[in-house]
Chain A
Amino acid sequence: MKKFENIKKDFPIFAREVNTKKLTYLDSGATSQKPQSVIDSMNNVYINTNANVHRGTYVLSAETTQLYEDVRKKCKNFLNAYHSDEIIFTKGATEGFNFLANSIVKKYLHPGDEILLTEIEHHANIIPWQMVAKQYQLEIKYITINDDFSIDMDDLKSKISSKTKIVSITGESNLSGLLPDIKMIRNLVKENSDAIFILDGAQLVPHRKVDVQDLGIDFIVFSGHKLLGPTGIGVVWGRLELLNELDPVSGGGDMIEEVYYDRATWAPVPHKFEAGTPPYVEAIGLGAAIDYLENITMEKVSDHSDHLRKYAQKIFSDLDRVNVIHTNEEFAGCTFSMHVDNIHATDISLMLDTYGVAVRAGHHCVQPFHRKLGIDATFRATAYIYNDENDLDVFKDALVNSIQMLG
């Protein structure tokens, strides 16, 4: 089992400097850095086994197909899914939501039906629903977020009804670190509606052990690049009985059984949802990322996140002029969005960059909620397994200096 000490050495990027300073990377909420093992796994495919999957009748194709399909099993175990066939590869979480929005709505929803989201969803869990809602005359409702950035459970209860057909919520907020009580919400939803329950796992899956059977959800969506894997690969997990009923939204090679000039039949799940050559090299990189995390164990990964989060809460509590958007709940992710009165978030992040500190500035794809709070932009520090207390100290000192310089 891997220990957390010296973990940065596994990530080649930390050997470089930024603006002559040691790199302090606190933007893992946007994307994570990659360990050498992930980079090696992808290089290995190109150097040793590369061939298109599912087609060849030769050694290279068979080996690559094996490596690719093994990742489906790894994902199945990682999520404690019922079956490997429930794992669908997409190019990322965004494509996952677009696929679900189009396939589920087309199959199950009717004009006047309702989709329930929260006010702090990422745009990827808003826009695809808005697009289909317009097309199919559906209504989208948003669960209110309280002043302390928790979910307003009374509002949730009041908005679930027999008209609610889809509930899609974040498993971990990319803005405030909020970890909603999924099981409680799921139970409320299932007791009061027959809605399909979808979890946005983009921030949650990299940081916590997710057991889809235990959570009792219907679908989860996440991307590989936020959990040490490459870009261009993501996963949709769904219950097999639901996936079997859904129609593909994308057609092409590899997703068919029989093709005639006027019609076609689909390959079985999961292949009917994976049209064209899949990003198999990226999928294999994702497999290596999951191996890396499981070698550490997800329990330790989440303990580390909790530890850093508590440390950050402590050292950020006496920051002058800084308003912190972070949930007060007992459990939360190490995600801190901030704004400083009369100083633009972009100025802060540009100044922090001169100290080698990488954070994101903007609305973090949560624009409606920023609008509700009455702020244009925030800057956000997010930590992951390779971060330590020293990174948070460096960030804090650089922030204090930046505020001083910006007046």
Chain B
Amino acid sequence: MPIDSKVQEYKKILDLFPNAQEKYQYLIEQAKDNTDFPEALRNDNFKVSGCQSQVWLIPEKKEDKVYFMSDSDALIAKGLVTLIASIYSDETPEDILSSEIDLMEEFELGVILSPARRNGAFNMLKMIKDYASKLTNS
């Protein structure tokens, strides 16, 4: 499914929840379902910088597609990175690099996706594009 369509799917789901608290609860559920991150890879090499909590993102290339594993020590941040990882997984590095979706505009996720939180989500997206860029060159 193209990145745009996945964003629209998540947007539809998130819009079902009328307030920040219920949206956070949805993210918490996503976080709790995301259990396959290997403990040994919770290291600084894969850490997203600038997050208030610790967030990890790891790319894996299978044939021409990229897949992301994600984790965080905070639940709501983990829910968010799980969602972002799922949006950009199963895509080619070229599609990831050419995607210009502004998640901050698409998702109404209260303070966690607002420009006011200077670094967190922005750095998750940057890391995904950086990985994609390296995989294109390799």
Could you tell me which A residues sit within 8 Å of B by CB distance? 19-20, 343-344, 346-347, 350-351, 353-355, 361-362, 376-377, 405-407
Asked whether, in the complex, the Cβ of B20 is within 8 Å of the Cβ of A346, the reply is no
Indicate if B28 sits at the interface (CB-CB under 8 A). Answer: yes
Q: Tell me the bound Cα distance from A355 to B75 in angstroms.
A: 18
Whole-angstrom distance between the Cβ of B50 and the nearest chain A Cβ? 13
Asked whether, in the complex, the Cβ of B75 is within 8 Å of the Cβ of A344, the reply is yes
Which listed residue (B32, B54, B73, B111) contacts A350, Cβ 8 A?
Answer: B111
Contacts A19-B19, A19-B21, A361-B52: A405 and B28 contacting too (C-beta < 8 A)?
A: yes
**30 interchain pairs, CB-CB under 8 A:** A19-B19, A343-B75, A344-B53, A344-B73, A344-B75, A344-B77, A346-B52, A346-B53, A346-B74, A346-B77, A347-B75, A347-B76, A347-B77, A350-B24, A350-B76, A350-B111, A350-B112, A351-B21, A351-B24, A353-B20, A354-B19, A354-B21, A354-B24, A354-B110, A361-B52, A376-B54, A377-B52, A377-B53, A405-B28, A406-B28
Write out the residue numbers on chain B whose beta carbons fall within 8 Å of the beta carbon of A343.
75
Write out the residue numbers on chain B whose beta carbons fall within 8 Å of the beta carbon of A377.
52-53
Q: Tell me the bound Cα distance from A321 to B76 in angstroms.
A: 19
Asked whether, in the complex, the Cβ of A362 is within 8 Å of the Cβ of B52, the reply is yes
Write out the residue numbers on chain A whose beta carbons fall within 8 Å of the beta carbon of B77.
344, 346-347
Q: Tell me the bound Cα distance from A376 to B51 in angstroms.
A: 12
Indicate if B25 sits at the interface (CB-CB under 8 A). Answer: yes
Q: Tell me the bound Cα distance from A347 to B53 in angstroms.
A: 9
Which listed residue (A354, A361, A362) contacts B20, Cβ 8 A?
Answer: A354
Q: Tell me the bound Cα distance from A182 to B74 in angstroms.
A: 39
Write out the residue numbers on chain B whose beta carbons fall within 8 Å of the beta carbon of A347.
53, 74-77
Whole-angstrom distance between the Cβ of B72 and the nearest chain A Cβ? 8
Q: Tell me the bound Cα distance from A343 to B76 in angstroms.
A: 10
Whole-angstrom distance between the Cβ of A347 and the nearest chain B Cβ? 5
Q: Tell me the bound Cα distance from A376 to B74 in angstroms.
A: 11
Write out the residue numbers on chain A whose beta carbons fall within 8 Å of the beta carbon of B111.
350, 353
Closest to B54 in A: A376
Q: Tell me the bound Cα distance from A350 to B32 in angstroms.
A: 17
Asked whether, in the complex, the Cβ of A19 is within 8 Å of the Cβ of B52, the reply is no
Write out the residue numbers on chain B whose beta carbons fall within 8 Å of the beta carbon of A362.
52
Closest to B73 in A: A344
Q: What 1/0 mask marks residues of chain B from 68 to 83 whose CB sits below 8 Å from any chain A CB?
A: 0000011111000000
Instruction: Rank and list the top 3 A-B pairs by shortest CB-CB distance, nearest first.
Output: A344-B74, A354-B21, A346-B52
Write out the residue numbers on chain B whose beta carbons fall within 8 Å of the beta carbon of A355.
21
Whole-angstrom distance between the Cβ of A321 and the nearest chain B Cβ? 15
Whole-angstrom distance between the Cβ of A340 and the nearest chain B Cβ? 12
- Give me 12 other A-B pairs in contact (C-beta within 8 A), A346-B76, A347-B76 excluded: A19-B20, A344-B53, A344-B75, A350-B24, A351-B21, A353-B111, A354-B19, A354-B20, A354-B110, A355-B21, A376-B54, A407-B32
Write out the residue numbers on chain B whose beta carbons fall within 8 Å of the beta carbon of A405.
25, 28
Whole-angstrom distance between the Cβ of B88 and the nearest chain A Cβ? 23
Write out the residue numbers on chain B whose beta carbons fall within 8 Å of the beta carbon of A350.
24, 76, 111-112
Whole-angstrom distance between the Cβ of A297 and the nearest chain B Cβ? 37
Write out the residue numbers on chain A whose beta carbons fall within 8 Å of the beta carbon of B76.
346-347, 350-351
Listed residue (B25, B54, B76) with the most chain A CB atoms within 10 angstroms of its CB: B76
Write out the residue numbers on chain B whose beta carbons fall within 8 Å of the beta carbon of A353.
20, 110-111
Asked whether, in the complex, the Cβ of B21 is within 8 Å of the Cβ of A406, the reply is no
Asked whether, in the complex, the Cβ of B20 is within 8 Å of the Cβ of A406, the reply is no
